[in-house]
Amino acid sequence: MTETQTQRPSLNSFELVTIAALRARQLLEGCVPRVEGSDKPARRALQEVLAGVVTKLEDQPAAEAAAGAEATFEALGEDTPPEQVQ
């Protein structure tokens, strides 16, 4: 059994592929890889997910997400979030 197999996150195959695909896109856009491995972005992304250094964010209820966005804009000195500007 390899180190990657012992640390495998508990994801179903759909989540694993989706997270790896999103991370591969980030790597293609210039993000810094978090693990040593393949030069190919798709393979490196999969290695990162399997190593547990890239994980999914848990869903937040809409009210909490909106409150967090407002707090962020207040901290930045902005009056309203851009999607609410008319």
pTM exceeding 0.85: no
pLDDT tens, position by position, 16-41: 999 999 999 999 999 999 999 999 99
pLDDT at residue 58, as a whole number: 76
8 versus 56: which is more confidently predicted?
56
pLDDT at residue 57, as a whole number: 82
Task: Tokens for 44, please give them.
Answer: 């490196």
Q: CB neighbours (10 Å) of residue 58? A: 5
